[in-house]
Amino acid sequence: MREVILVGLNHRTAPVQLRERISFPEEDLDRYLKELQDLPSLAEGLILSTCNRVEICAATRDPEKGVKEIKSFLAHQHHLSLSEFEDTLYVLQGEELVRHIFRVAASLDSMVVGEPQILGQIKGAYRAAHATRSTGTLLNKLFHKAFSVAKRVRTETSIGNGAVSVSFVAVELAKRIFAHLEGREVLIVGAGEMCELAAQHLVSGGVKRVLVTNRTWERAMELAERFQGEAIPFSELPNALLRTDIVISSTGSPDFVVRREEVSEIIRKRKNSPLFFIDIAVPRDIDPQINTIDNVYLYDIDDLQEVAEANIKDRRQEARRAEAIVATEVEKFCRWYQSLEVVPTIVSLREKMEGMREKELDKTLSALPQLSEKERRAMEALSEAIVKKILHGPITLLKKTGRNSEGELYVDVVKKLFKLDEE
């Protein structure tokens, strides 16, 4: 029977410097998924790669071998030695894994509890895996259930009220640097979902103007127009820094898009007017060395944890209600999983007993050619009734225990008693 395993790291186990080295670029995810499918012991696989976590979830008949192959896969794909990051990895199986997936989807394991972005990211990871046929019965069921659990949490609790996200926390930090946002100019570098959310919060906070720059000019124009702002060519990024107060960056660049040397010259031209950077990209967009420059402030995604903790306090009561929902759904899913082996065992048991009945009945009828058709039908009905009586007890027990922790034990006993594994 296949089991689901998960190997991963997140913002609690690994710093951003490591997470950015192990992240999987979205544009190459199909290739990584196909290579994951090539691992001998894995039957299904999914890769979730976000700013805060990198996790590989897989179905396998050999969990121990599967875990080893996934760890080696992570090391090989990112040109790292396993010893460089193995101690930051967690390995999950069984009920613990199901609870983890449901909690992540419900945003109970996020840096900011209740932020909605993670569910969209999981759905994106699932769509990519499903499109490459990397998922099958187990992962399909697990992730569809995770989506419904997340929806139930959102519907039955207030954990998502006042939408809090990493981008919102970034704005809260901006308010700490500047007494207020009114009259400030903001530069958004990148035009993805995170940047769009940041722009929404900043506009709500009263910023005077939003500037947007992106390597794709059409996307920059689109986002700038949405916020009645101004699009800036990506090549003009250094000049844009001269006129802005706050920079929020989240691109997919593998290299820094803003470097210390540039900022050092810009801050001099600005006559030391404060410049605030929030880098919510993984890999990071902003050279961390700019923090050494006077009147320049830089926070990366890990720095947002401090503000996130303050936001979490307001959601703890709702989080407790959400945890109760998750616990109920985990129990339901585990009952379904435990029953997977029961159904084929019942089918095998019935088929074996029916085969034995037919064989013995044929032998008996062959030895009694004088029997009438009515008598033959009577003997067949008798044999069927006897088999049903014999099977009633074992099948009833399997159906009953298949929904609890004893199911696996009784499946094994029935297989041995009736020698179902010998065929």
Structure tokens that stand for 291 in this block: 């923090």
Whole-angstrom Cα distance, residue 195 to residue 183? Answer: 20
Whole-angstrom Cα distance, residue 246 to residue 198? Answer: 11
Catalytic residue among 51, 57, 195, 334: 51
**Contact status, residue 353 vs residue 384, Cβ threshold 8 Å:** no
Helix, strand, coil abundance in the chain, percent, nearest 5: 60, 15, 30
Residue ranges in 270-304 assigned as alpha helix (H) = none
| Residue 341: closest CA among 250, 420, 237 | 420
Whole-angstrom Cα distance, residue 394 to residue 342? Answer: 11
Q: Is 195 a catalytic residue?
A: no
**Token pair 């959601």 is at which residue?**
315
Alpha-carbon distances of 105 from 137, 148, 189, 234, 294, rounded to whole Å: 19, 9, 28, 35, 41
Burial of 221 (0-12, 13-18, 19+ CB in 10 A): middle
Supply the residues annotated as catalytic: 51
